[in-house]
Structure 1
């Protein structure tokens, strides 16, 4: 689906605590439940979530931002722990009372860590196309190895293309394809390698049971990056969870945007109905 950029909230650069800067997109309805959506590797906030924004806008206050080393995200220290801190910085900056946190792939890992860091600051989680970690057995090593080998394809738009688009077209005049090229080319291959290494060292199986927030799991049933059983393991370890399957692969938000948005709607609704 080609995005109608005029219907999406414009991005604005904000300065958070400790000198961290990022680009935030916020639909701004203060009377609605705030939902912060965290993107996956190789994407930016709006590139990952624009199709969800277009379908769910008006139902919740939707917020997304560029995480470190992605798009207009901060270029300081990059670890999943610092990304989790940034989530709380954004919530503080926007003065959000216990937002729901939705994370896709890498964003799901960051969501888990943010909830572990300070669960009192969040209302609940929606974890999509993500899991408990990797590198724990041969099957996961094979899956992660495949992701490592295919990583260059995730950054198929050369940085030079993004630079040309940036120079020749103002933000307001960007056509959807040029905008997508620019967003995609903003993430370097070095970032991909770093994220993959972080995923390889992540394992939340020893502490997920401590999270008592309501957690909805949007399970991608044909996922090779986070196989079904890894996602099932995650939901089984969570004491207050529900599973909402999408019969698609790891890129479900792009390949099955309608079905994915419907599952996100149901999952967010379940979390909101179970807010503490």
Structure 2
């Protein structure tokens, strides 16, 4: 297992069923503000929500080592150790979903439930990997993430009715460190297909998709649901790639249903 970076930033609220939420690229844990506010429930006992900044993002150091989502998944296991948590529901959106899948592969005994939002279990096509390397090389060469803003990363992740969120997402994108952006792009490019991981899971699982997601088509959600023995699919109408931000009430309702299934 890799060593957890010495500086780690985690947002936490509530008590109850442990729920780890892993953010999208190239954002940070602040994207989960609506979930940190609502998911603990009116009495504060629905869930203990932990939202870490992944390596290099937000307040967490990048650390050392070659780019690998396995390293980030191991960070989650070490975070659970530090929090005194044996098993947790682990969920992620987009890149966070890739990390959740890596966690399910590497630490299945620590998994109480799985949440996969706006993500895919298939590996990148060659053209996608090449584009990730283009971005990684460019941001490092320029020591700037302006390329992501120029290519409208924020707007491209949002549905047609979510224009009011563009400024908020742009701010998170602009705050990303070039080294973290490059590391994460190369880690995502190197990830393995995970449909075999899903087929072997026996924990409650929720798959959430945005009807208007232009980055991950609904066919990817269907693939995951077909591979999962115990999955519930939620497709949120009118929503793009950042469903937790765009439709927090509908997203949170899907998570609450998952938590209820985990609690039995």
Q: Smaller-chain TM-score range?
A: 0.7 to 0.9
Per the alignment, residue 216 of structure 2 pairs with: 226
Paired with 1:181 and 1:250, the residues of 2 have a C-alpha distance of 14
Runs of 5+ unmatched residues, structure 2: 136-146, 156-166
Matching residue within 26, 41, 44 for 2:28 = 44
Change (3 A) 1:229 1:19: closer
Which SS does the other structure have where 1:192 is aligned? helix
Which SS does the other structure have where 1:126 is aligned? strand
Which SS does the other structure have where 2:195 is aligned? coil
Question: Does the 8 Å CA contact 1:126/1:268 hold for their aligned counterparts?
Answer: no
Per the alignment, residue 166 of structure 1 pairs with: none
Which SS does the other structure have where 1:37 is aligned? strand
**Offset of 1:192 from its aligned partner?**
3.4
Per the alignment, residue 184 of structure 2 pairs with: 195
Is the aligned partner of 1:55 residue 2:42?
A: no
How many equivalent pairs are there? 230
Paired with 1:18 and 1:244, the residues of 2 have a C-alpha distance of 33
**1:248-269 alpha-carbon deviations (Å, 9 max, x no partner):** 1102222222222222222333
TM-score between both structures, scaled by the size of structure 1: 0.72
Paired with 1:261 and 1:109, the residues of 2 have a C-alpha distance of 20
Per the alignment, residue 253 of structure 1 pairs with: 244
TM-score between both structures, scaled by the size of structure 2: 0.75
Which SS does the other structure have where 2:86 is aligned? coil
Change (3 A) 1:21 1:272: farther
Per the alignment, residue 88 of structure 1 pairs with: 77
Q: Which moved more, 1:210-219 or 1:97-106?
A: 210-219
Matching residue within 100, 108, 111 for 1:119 = 108
Runs of 5+ unmatched residues, structure 1: 1-15, 157-177
Change (3 A) 1:180 1:238: closer
Per the alignment, residue 70 of structure 1 pairs with: 57
